[in-house]
A and B are shown apart, each in its own frame.
Chain A
């Protein structure tokens, strides 16, 4: 699967869980690699891109999570 596809899947997963459950990086890696049949390293690389681009951010409060940044 193309990296862009994986990125879309990650973003959709996080979007879907907004307000329900905050996801940790490992939750995302486990879910997407199982769903999309890609390796954890591929998910990690796609996640890194999304965070570097600013589409997602790390948040921390009682653990570290990956979330969509709040609208300014």
Chain B
């Protein structure tokens, strides 16, 4: 069968064609919203019109079967309208109040996890991991699944001092908001890349490989038309491998997960913050990474015990001080915690006033 005529440079369709009628009518005219329960909120417009949102969890990696099921549910209860969130949740957009209970019942019967709205753990922003990425130091989907199973109650029912944004990145490329999340995991390497000297000539450009190194550890090896790596300068970031595949760095024995905490993107109460290192290395232990989930639980519980209402993880830690964070969590403080990269001196303590 002949293919339809292709078109280029058309961009995406206009979003108006995908908005429920009640949104089209009240676009830009919303007055307030209320969180009715962890999985349902209602937005009310200045005209008094309403739209209800029912949020459910999603693993982000979806089969067409499941998407068809989303579509069928949207058709049955939402006039066919549905959206996905930046954190990969699914949102059913209900215009008719009487459809909410039947939708919730249907979702429950189909074993969907409803929740994630308000001061809770919402879905985890994450990357491809071993499912589809060349540079993964760990899986991402498996870590997400293990964590969200552990903290499911904080998605569906229990509340926290404020929302806690989790993220997982399977390598230091950080395709995800790991560098600004409340608690985040990032896959790391701990040994330098293997230099496949005879392959470099055909597979890589030497100048761009050298330029990819943030610490100047790579130098030319002109005799072999290849490169050399200075072991004591390499911080195992893996950026060179993304430019030159003849420098593989994946290492099943030494790769693992680092845990960073205290980042946020919103400006509420305090400026956006980077996540900072809490645990430099936890071993890769698939399929359920028990050491990782237990470490995250330790941090989360210390936050719940110590934070004031509305404080994010980073705001809590800054109020009590990092020395108190390590005390409260009983996490060991190591040489790896002291920065020796580009902004090192900004992080040293320049005051004699601190807590014991």
Contacts from A to B (Cβ < 8 Å): 21-22, 61-63
Contact = CB atoms under 8 A, between A and B. Distances in A.
Contacts of B244: 62
Contacts of B208: 62-63
Interface string B213-251: 000000000000000000000000000001111000000
Nearest to A65: B205
B212 interface: yes
A1 B242 CA distance: 40
Given A62-B208, A62-B212, A63-B243, 7 more contacts: A21-B205, A61-B243, A61-B245, A62-B205, A62-B242, A62-B243, A62-B244
A63 B6 CA distance: 27
Q: Majority SS of interface residues in chain B?
A: loop
**Most chain B Cβ neighbours within 10 Å, of A21, A62, A63:** A62
Q: Which of A21, A22, A61 has the most CB of B within 10 A?
A: A61
Interface of B: 205, 208, 212, 242-245
A63 B242 CA distance: 10
Nearest to A19: B202
A63 B208 CA distance: 10
Nearest to A62: B243
The 5 closest A-B pairs by CB, nearest first: A62-B243, A62-B208, A62-B242, A22-B205, A62-B212
12 contacts: A21-B205, A22-B205, A61-B243, A61-B245, A62-B205, A62-B208, A62-B212, A62-B242, A62-B243, A62-B244, A63-B208, A63-B243
A45 B144 CA distance: 46
A54 B245 CA distance: 27
Contacts of A22: 205
A63 B245 CA distance: 14
A63 B212 CA distance: 11
A22 B203 CA distance: 12
Contacts of B212: 62
Contacts of A21: 205
A62 B245 CA distance: 10
Nearest to B241: A62
Nearest to A20: B205
B250 to A, nearest CB: 17
A34 to B, nearest CB: 22
B327 to A, nearest CB: 44
A21 B244 CA distance: 14
Nearest to B242: A62
A21 B212 CA distance: 16
A22 B243 CA distance: 13
Contacts of B242: 62
A24 B347 CA distance: 39
A57 B245 CA distance: 21
Contacts of B245: 61
A57 to B, nearest CB: 15
A13 B310 CA distance: 60
Contacts of A62: 205, 208, 212, 242-244
A53 to B, nearest CB: 14
B20 to A, nearest CB: 39
Most A CB atoms within 10 A — which of B208, B212, B242, B245?
B208
A70 to B, nearest CB: 13
A43 B151 CA distance: 56
Contacts of A63: 208, 243
Contacts of A61: 243, 245
Nearest to B244: A62
